[in-house]
Amino acid sequence: MQKTSNERKVLIDGSRLITESMARAGADSFIGYPITPANLLYLYASRRMPLMLSAPDEITTLQWMSGLSATGKIPVTATSFPGFALMIESVNMAFMMELPMVIVLVQRLGPATGTATCGAQGDIPLLKGMISGGHQLPVLCTSDFNDCWKLSAKAVHLAVELRTPVVLLTSKEEVMTQKSFSTGVLDAIEPVSRSFYRGKEPYRSYNVERDELVPPFLPVTAGKWQVRLNASTHDKNGILQHSNDEAIGNTVRLERKARETLSGYTFYELDEQEGAGTLLVSYGITASAARDAVKRMREKGKKVSLLVPKTILPAPAIYSEIIGKYKKVVIAEENINAQFADLLFGTRIPSSISIVGSAGRMITPPEILNEEECV
């Protein structure tokens, strides 16, 4: 892989990496409105994105993004729970219309406005249930600066390739903390290649070839064929239908789209040590504590493996398969209700798993080590 630039040591935060990565990947517009802790993304985007608009509120943000996406742009916004909650109906609309866009969700402590400047990992159940009908859209989660770079670009690619909104999940401590960093380790980012419908038949906005799951896209600015986008239950032409077979078939395709393409965007880091009977599992900000815990255990001669899930939704089956291979598993995440374990196992969390959680503060490496010793 070609590197972006020579080894340069800089003091940098995750917001900058995310914004630059998305812009290089092809995101061309940012709709912003202020919300802590996502403000740095808004600020950087104002300097970076070819098109930058300040929206008056969260619903407008998502509607403007949807409109832009309908014209062929790739819009991005960044928010946190209070704003995201207001966007959800419109995210459903974009999901139903199949409009590419990326929403960076910077988690902070809730409930409600909670504490704006305090990090958290509390939004997985919300993301899982946000689309009425239980359908999923891809949620990728950053665990370090390399992810801020790589996954942000992936999110843009995925949005275009799957014709869908994508959520890039992160948290306050990841996007607001500055760290020394060598830019030399960053891979070059491929801009997404975008192709629009070129068929000879009239375009049908939601028509797919037999085995395909993603209909080709055509902007509403097209001059040759009519484009119809629809947030209500619709047929392949995009015409509102109550519940005929074709329209329900379209909704079923939406359900299948994110799930059946999942193997193409299942991202995780698995650092397996031969002979290890213990597995630490952690994602997002807590992965940094888990990486330190693994290091310390290995320094002490203990065998341990580490799993850092990066594709959070739809939840890839591989995670429970990996977890199933270990006698002892510790899952650490910054909430007090075992959200990730719940996502994988529901109420039947295997007895091999123990949970480290916290509210209002980062989980530390010693907490993970203590739990490991107690299991």
Partner 1 sequence: MNGFLKTSQLPYCKGCGHDLIAKKSAEALEKLEYAPLDVIVVTDIGCHGIIDKCLNTHTVHGLHGRSVALGAGISFGIENPGKKVLVFIGDGGSTIGLQHIMEAARLNLNMSVVVHNNMLYGMTGGQTSGLTPRGFCTTTSADGNPFAGYDICELAHTAGAAYSSRIMGVGDISGELTEAFSVEGFSLTEIMEICPSYGVKLNPRRKLAEIVESSGRKTGVWKNERTGFVLEQGKKCNDLMEELKEVENDFPARLKGNLSLVLSGSAGEGIQSAATLLAKAAMRSGCHVTQKGSYPVTVGVGFSTAEVNISTEPINFHGIGVPDVAIITSEDGLTHSKKRIEGMKGGMLFLDDSLDAPSTGAEVIKRDFRSVGARSACLYAVFYFAMHTKLVDTEAIFMTIEESGMAAKMPLDKIKEKIQA
User: Interaction with partner 1 in 296-355: which residues (CB under 8 A)?
Assistant: none
Residue 278: phi and psi, rounded to 5, are -115, 140
Binder of partner 1 out of 2, 180, 193, 351 (CB under 8 A): 180
By CB under 8 A, is residue 44 in contact with partner 1? yes
By beta-carbon proximity to partner 1, the closer residue of 136 and 152 is: 152
By beta-carbon proximity to partner 1, the closer residue of 94 and 343 is: 94
The H-assigned helical ranges of 109-208 are 124-129, 145-161, 172-176
Task: Pick the stretch among 53-61, 151-159, 306-314, 335-343 that binds partner 1 (CB under 8 A).
Answer: 53-61
Binder of partner 1 out of 3, 34, 57, 129 (CB under 8 A): 57
Instruction: State the Cα–Cα distance between residues 55 and 275, nearest whole angstrom.
Output: 54
Task: Pick the stretch among 13-21, 150-158, 262-270, 302-310 that binds partner 1 (CB under 8 A).
Answer: 13-21
Q: Report in angstroms the alpha-carbon separations of 282 from 110, 122, 180.
A: 20, 14, 23
What residues contact residue 104 under an 8 Å CB cut-off, 6+ apart?
A: 18, 38, 41, 76, 77, 78, 79, 152, 167, 168, 170
By CB under 8 A, is residue 289 in contact with partner 1? yes
Q: How many CA atoms lie within 13 A of 291 on its CB side?
A: 12
By beta-carbon proximity to partner 1, the closer residue of 28 and 342 is: 28
Instruction: State the Cα–Cα distance between residues 110 and 360, nearest whole angstrom.
Output: 9
Binder of partner 1 out of 128, 154, 291, 310 (CB under 8 A): 291
By CB under 8 A, is residue 195 in contact with partner 1? no
Task: Pick the stretch among 134-142, 158-166, 339-347, 359-367 that binds partner 1 (CB under 8 A).
Answer: 359-367
DSSP states of 303-369: -EEEEEE-EEESPPTHHHHHHHT-SEEEEEESSSS-HHHHHHHTT---TTEEEEE-SSSPPPHHHHH
By CB under 8 A, is residue 11 in contact with partner 1? yes
- Tokens 């994105």 belong to which residue? 49
69-98 binders of partner 1 (CB under 8 A)? 69-73, 89-90, 93, 97
By beta-carbon proximity to partner 1, the closer residue of 125 and 191 is: 191
Helix 81-97 and helix 58-70, axial crossing angle in degrees, nearest 10: 30
Task: Pick the stretch among 6-14, 103-111, 248-256, 262-270 that binds partner 1 (CB under 8 A).
Answer: 6-14
CB atoms within 10 A of CB 201: 8
By CB under 8 A, is residue 19 in contact with partner 1? yes
Q: Binding pattern to partner 1, positions 243-282, x when CB under 8 A?
A: ----------------------------------------
